């Protein structure tokens, strides 16, 4: 689910409808902790020839990294 945030970023880069299936997703939990909200920093790392890859970093309000996720599609 977290890696799927990359799909929105990729779709926003193109005017055509480019719905595609995910090739892979990963989630790496760094340091879980309770907080009221989480910032999802989503970045498209690259897109070419029908493939795209991106990453998501999840941060607490006070700047601690909770987890990282990625998706290729």
With a CB cutoff of 8 Å and minimum separation 6, the contacts of 6 are: 42, 44, 52, 53, 54, 55, 56, 70, 71, 73
Predicted structure pTM score: 0.70
Q: What confidence tens digit (pLDDT) does each residue in 8-23 have? A: 555 555 556 555 566 7
Encode pLDDT of 23-69 as tens digits: 777 889 999 999 999 998 988 888 777 778 888 899 999 999 999 98
């Amino acid at each position: 689910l977290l890696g799927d945030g990359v799909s929105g970023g990729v779709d926003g880069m193109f005017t055509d409808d480019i719905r595609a299936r995910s090739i892979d997703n990963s989630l790496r939990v760094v340091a879980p902790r309770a907080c009221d909200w989480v910032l999802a920093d989503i970045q498209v790392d690259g897109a070419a020839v029908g493939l795209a890859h991106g990453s998501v970093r999840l941060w607490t309000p006070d700047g601690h990294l909770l987890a990282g996720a990625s998706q290729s599609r």
